[in-house]
Structure 1
Amino acid sequence: MWRTLAGAVAGLLVLFVGSLAFNAASGQSRWPGPLDLVRVHPWVVLLALIPISFIGLWQAPRRDRTQDPPAPVTYRLPPRNTNFTGRDATLRELRQRLTSANDVAMLAVHGLGGVGKTQLAVEYAYRYLSKYRFVAFVDAEHPDLVASQFVSLAGELGLAEVSSDQVVPRVYGKLRDRRPWLIIFDNGEKPGTLTHMLPSGDLAGNGQVIVTTRVSGWSSRADVIDLDVFTRRESVELLVRRVPDMTATVADRIAEQLGDLPLALEQAAGYMGYNHTTPEAYLTLLTSRLEDMIARGELTDRPTVVVATLWQLSVRRLETDRPQAVRLLELCALLAPEPIPLDLFTGSPEVLNGAAADPLVWDTTVGALAGLGLARRGDASLVLHRLVQAAVRAAMPDEVHTDTRVQLCRALLAAVPHDINGDPDARPRWQELLPHVIAVTKDEPPAECAAQTAVLLRLASEFLLSIGDRSPALPLCERALAIDESLGGRDAEVGFDLITLAQIHRDLAAPERARPLAERALRLHESCLPADSPAIATDLATLARILCLLGEHGAAQPLAERALQLDEAAYGPDDPYVSFDLVALANVHVDLGDYATAVPLISRALRIREARYAPDHLYIGYVLLFKARVLHTLNDPTAADLARRGAQILHTQLGRTHPKTEEAVALVNRLR
């Protein structure tokens, strides 16, 4: 616009001067149209045109300069990742924080190794490159080498022969002429190691700094963005785009195995691309040999970086500074990639050679893992990424692996509730520890902890049976039985395995398979336990319910009555174990068609459980539904309310889609 105005004004000036010359030559007394104003007031018009022309001529080149800014200069900025995926919201947040009204000039991107911090920072630099005049990338992993990079940076800025003690202020001073500028310090350590390299005072306001780091503690020096792993959608998007013939279903399963870690996903794509491995075959390898696969596959821009060695530097630092933290890391590596309750170790302080017994030592030991980004720390738990665990496992010598597993077996056996039916608080504790029990016991046990492994497997199967998960309980109990039988001399433990296995088959509607197991358990326990042992009562009650399912009600009734007598004598009339015997005896009478006798037995079992368990405990829900079915047979109108209460408990505790919940809902619908 200003260029057009300047041209118009210049044209008017030429017209004006030409008009004066014409007037002098022609001597006319009047000019045509508005031009007569020039003839009458020539000097007034001239004085008006001169400032307008100056404004136009001055503004035109200034506006042109604004429209064509100089191209930004970059220093050691890595090539842009053409496969960069997702992170749009995080990039917008990063931009907003760096340019906010609060003049935040420094931002730390914090996260687990391999989560994509460097890729995010580089993508940000390219995405907003036009907003800067100078962008530099500094490798900060080794603080001692940062100064030499600043010397090279000084040369890039035209500063020759700058001393090392003056290079930092001279560089930032020179950047005043290049503002706005951006410097990325990649893989920084603690703030103290980089303090002398970061801008301060007025220098901080001249540009922006991004620090990528695995280490906590930057909040006092910079604004912090915590970068997490990919969402599952982003993981699937990357794999489907990078790998031919990759389906969303297989990509989802690969992403699950790799914990959505961006580096691992890129490595997986590289492996499949180089070896022409089909996605299905790669998934099979990943599932069966995770520790081996995280060492294979290359990234095109970082061929020496693989997940298997990604955290080695952090672990080596722990070995020097906090060896007990390395031991804690090894213990956690053999557990599940789920929240690990810290009281698993404080309850068994010997597994860490006493480190868990001293509150201060323990706090700093746990904090070292969180501080180096190897774990996330909750109020009472630690969470390790599954690939951190796999990398630590892969680096463990066989003898260390064995010793670690033995110690974990002992710690878990001390931590899990053994009285699953009688302990009202057993369920939440087992839900917390079950994934870790499964992880530690999944392989053939070392001889040093074979017996503990068998007990853990049986207890886990008992817990799963108590919440109605019969199918996963079966292989666990079968393994427990196989281990106990191989050890020899463990008749009582073999009996416990057998009776649990019988209960599972009974609930799986296979009473013909359950019967010989229960009968063998009863024989073993009668041969090695006192005649009044409560364990014998459990065998009797279980066998009685199995015989009922087989239609042998006459043989079942005396067994159930004897079980009730044994438990009442051992525990008293109001113990939870007595309630199980009452339910077993009631089942016999229901199968005999004697509903009137069954009702008071069920009602007594319900009173015992309501007095001993929380109002929403599963055992209360089960007995409510049992009573509802029997009362419905007797045409009692209260059955519907009992069924609704029982179904609500199961829905809350097991979820809407659990088979037992669906059975309860079906009963409620029938009773409407």
Structure 2
Amino acid sequence: MQWDEFLRQEAATHELSPEQTAAFLVRFQAENSGESEQEIANLLKIELSAFKKRMSPVYSKFAESCPELAKRQRRKFETLKAYLTAKYNGVDDTQPKKEIQHNIPPAVPWERFVGREAELQQLHEMIQQTQQVAIVAVAGMGGVGKTELATQYAQQNLQNYPGGVCWLSAQGIDVGIQILRFAKDKFKFIEPDDRELVDRVKLCWDRWDAGDVLLVFDDVTDYKTQVKPYLPANSSKFKVLLTTRLGFDRTLPQLSLGVLKPLAAMKLLKSLVGRDRLKNKPLVAIKICKFLGYLPLALELVGRYLDTIPDLSLKTLLKRLKKKRLEHKAMAKANPLMRYEYGVAEAFDLSWEQLDENAQGLGCCLSLYALADIPFNVEAIEDDELQEIWETAIADLLKLHLLQRQSQGIYRLHPLIRQYFQMKLDESSEADEAKTVFATQMVKVTEQISQQPTLNLIQQLTPLIPHLAEATNYLTAFIRDEDLIRVFTGLGWFYQGQGLYKQAEPWLSQCLELIKHRLSAEHLDFASSLNNLAGLYHVTGRYSEAKPLYQQGLELRQRLLGAEHPHVGISLNNLAGLYCTTGRHSEA
């Protein structure tokens, strides 16, 4: 009997409707076994939702003869396929099955393992195609969920590995010893004591139980010493799965694991805190997820913390997180009930310790930039030796995924990584120097901004504006007195020159107040600040607000410079222009 004929017979036996039979036959045809549900729906020329609606009763009807289907919420296709395959091959499914040996650690409940369905499917496909797969975090930080993804995969696919699943911690005792202990405990393997460890492991592989085997090397930091010596020579039945913070070259297939999508992050937080509590303040909950950069570890830490303090408002917690950041107790220590033993900063420490001094210094310097794309073109550095130092530092940060490359010469930091680097910078003795250098660089940017910037200049400077704003907001203490007016006015003119008056006004207003308090109301820069803000009010029709500022600036310049100074002439001209605009020609 052919497979297709067998499927039709099964459809009839289980009394599937014509629509259900069509979906069932196409889904389980041999050539379609690797296709996704969306691709099957496309073959049937129906919507994905319609396909799922047809298949749901199919699984229910087969559950009577395949009880395993009733137990599963996910991966029903694989379960039913295994059942049908066994029946087609004449295997008596009622016979007791051989116990599959494994030491997979406990996984989090399904309701808290969210937003990774696509990655699980992709991982399964990659493992079927090759013998070695590395899960690598795009953000590269501990807590992005590499280990949990591997655990969930191993548990859900245990039936695919009758030869066993051997979980190995690369940070524990020697991996070779762990392998021998597993074989001795599960298979009663007796190791010879007259051979080297690597040779004993090789002999262990040769005598391993029959059937496909999954080996998981968790938290690999040195592939050459922790993994390579112990890889089975006969890889046909062994599948190797790595979790690591490192980035390997393209010769090793990798699944890059990033942070959660915003909706998945909210779902995770909801599973920990409760729907009703988040429902009352959904916008604040969204802000908390964004502040945490959608990092699973941070979300779980904060969620569990909220759960222990039921009367703590989300708004209050967000305020405290912004103030104390990684040092807040919600993120500083792991909850005893959690599988992961580190707080967020402790998890980052593991990567920080692998960086040399140059890479650490570069990370700290980059943390002074805003949370936006960072233009950092090392090719512009004229000193070849210095250029190579920075190239290596960038490569090291990228390798550990502490830095994200957006495009050529453009990089970005994850929000919590940025906070971590800022914390490390403030702990160092070179913090003031680094902040002064960064502030000076931003001052040089403002030197290019005129009161009427050209379109080309606007396009050229736009990527730098968030970083200029960051320096102006938080690093004015490191900007020289004579440059203070320049950074605020530069930002004001950048927006005013584009007709973006609402964006320009805060910068010109802040400039006036800061100059007054830092340099005094008798300083010439204060007069210029009065004139600049009055000019904005003038062009936006706020004449009654512009006039007193023009007059105050004129009087201050006359007193400080004398009546014959050109700057006094400018103030006179500006005030006269205002009078003309308002029809007071005789005064003008």
Band of TM-score, shorter chain: 0.7 to 0.9
Whether the aligned pair in 1 keeps the contact of 2:132 and 2:240 (CA below 8 Å) is yes
Confirm whether residue 302 of structure 1 aligns to residue 339 of structure 2. Answer: yes
- Structure 1 or 2, whichever has the larger Rg, is 1
Match of 1:115 in 2: 144
1:136 touches 1:182 (CA, 8 Å); kept in 2?
Answer: yes
CA contact (8 A) 2:176 2:197 kept: yes
TM-score, normalised to structure 2's length? 0.73
CA offset digits 1:411-462 (Å, max 9, x no partner): 1112343325245433123321122222233236336645545432331222
Moved over 6 A (4+): 59-62, 354-357, 529-532, 535-538
Matches of 2:443 and 2:552, distance apart in 1: 26
Matched residues in 2 for 1:420 and 1:117: separation? 51
TM-score scaled by length of structure 1: 0.65
Corresponding position of 2:116:
87
Which of 411, 414, 420 is the matching residue for 2:441? Answer: 411
Could you tell me how far apart the structure 2 residues matched to 1:458 and 1:530 are?
Answer: 25
Residue of structure 1 in register with 2:153 after alignment: 124
Of residues 377, 381, 401 in structure 2, which corresponds to 1:373? 401
Tell me, in whole angstroms, the C-alpha distance in 1 between the residues paired with 2:562 and 2:385: 38
Alignment of 1:467-482 (within 5 A): 467-482=498-513
Structure 2 residue aligned with 1:151: 180
Q: Which runs of 5+ in 1 are unaligned?
A: 2-58, 557-672
CA contact (8 A) 1:108 1:213 kept: yes
Distance in 1, matches of 2:232 and 2:482, equals 62
Kindly report which structure 2 residues correspond to 1:288-367, keeping only aligned pairs within 5 A, or say none.
Answer: 288-293=323-328, 295-296=331-332, 298-299=334-335, 300-302=337-339, 304-318=341-355, 322-343=356-377, 358-367=386-395
- State whether structure 2 residue 79 is matched by structure 1 residue 70: no
> Equivalences for 1:520-531 in 2 at 5 Å?
520-524=552-556, 528=561
Q: Which of 95, 106, 120 is the equivalent residue of 2:132?
A: 106
Match of 1:270 among 291, 304, 307: 304
2:537 counterpart of 1:505: yes
5+ residue gaps in structure 2?
A: 2-86
Residues in 1 aligned to 2:393 and 2:537: alpha-carbon distance in whole angstroms: 46
Counting only pairs closer than 5 Å after superposition, residues 591-602 of structure 1 correspond to structure 2 as none
- Note the alpha carbon deviations across 1:130-167, whole angstroms, 9 max, x for none: 2222112222247x733332332232342234542324
Q: Give the structure 2 partner of residue 517 of structure 1.
A: 549
- C-alpha distance in structure 1 between counterparts of 2:99 and 2:569, whole Å: 86
Check 1:415–1:150 CA distance in 2 against 1; reply closer, same or farther (3 A cut). Answer: farther
DSSP-derived class of the 1:313 partner? helix
Distance 1:72 1:544 in 2: 91
C-alpha distance in structure 1 between counterparts of 2:333 and 2:302, whole Å: 6
Q: 1:67 to 1:383 in 2, by over 3 A?
A: farther
Please name the residue that 2:315 is paired with: 280
**Percent pairwise identity:** 21
Amino acid aligned to 1:369: L
1 CA distance for matches of 2:435 and 2:175? 42
- Amino acid corresponding to residue 504 of structure 2 in structure 1: A
1:230 aligns with 2:260: yes
- Call closer, same or farther: CA 1:291–1:65 in 2, change over 3 Å: closer
Q: Superposition pairs for residues 42-57 of structure 1, below 5 Å?
A: none
Could you tell me which residue of structure 1 aligns to residue 79 of structure 2? none
Q: What is the one-letter code of the residue matched to 2:314?
A: P
The 1-side partners of 2:314 and 2:507 are apart by: 31
1:67 deviates by: 6.4
* Residue identity in the other structure for 1:458: T
What does the per-residue CA deviation read over 1:73-118, in whole Å, with 9 as the maximum and x for residues that have no partner?
A: 2125233444211211111111112113xxx111111112122111
Q: Which residue of 2 aligns with 1:393?
A: 422
Counterparts of 1:393 and 1:60, CA distance in 2? 62
Q: Number of aligned pairs? A: 482
Q: Give 2:519's match in structure 1, choosing from 488, 491, 516.
A: 488
Q: Within 2, Cα distance between the matches of 1:483 and 1:275?
A: 41
- Of structures 1 and 2, the one scoring higher in RCO (CA 8 A, sep 6+) is 2
SS at match of 2:190: coil
Hey, what does 2:31 align to over in structure 1?
none
Query: Partner of 1:180 in structure 2?
Result: 212
Distance 1:553 1:74, change over 3 A: farther
- Mapping 1:580-591, distance limit 5 Å: none
- Structure 1 residue 135 corresponds to structure 2 residue 165: yes
Which letter maps to 1:296? A
Distance 1:154 1:454 in 2: 72
Question: Shift of the alpha carbon at 1:390?
Answer: 0.8
For 1:548 and 1:124, how far apart are their aligned partners in 2? 76
Q: 1:501 to 1:146 in 2, by over 3 A?
A: farther
Take 1:62 and 1:428, find their aligned partners in 2: how far apart are those partners?
70
Matches of 1:428 and 1:356 in 2, distance apart?
A: 29
Give, in whole Å, the separation in 1 of the partners of 2:273 and 2:431: 35
Alpha carbons 2:270, 2:278 under 8 Å: kept: yes
CA deviation after TM superposition for structure 1 residue 406, in Å: 1.5
Contact 1:515 1:543 in 2 (8 A): yes
Q: Is the 8 A contact 2:439 2:478 kept in 1?
A: no
Q: Is the 8 A contact 2:379 2:387 kept in 1?
A: no
Q: Show CA shifts across 1:578-609 (max 9, x none).
A: xxxxxxxxxxxxxxxxxxxxxxxxxxxxxxxx
- Residues 488 and 166 of structure 1: is their aligned pair in 2 closer, same or farther, counting only changes over 3 Å? same
- What SS class does the counterpart of residue 110 from structure 1 fall into? strand
Query: Pick from 384, 394, 398: which aligns with 2:413?
Result: 384
Decide whether aligned partners of structure 1 residues 214 and 469 sit closer, same or farther in structure 2, where only a CA change above 3 A counts.
Answer: farther
Equivalent residue number for residue 246 of structure 1: 278
State the partner residue of 1:461: 492
Q: Which residue of 2 aligns with 1:432?
A: 463
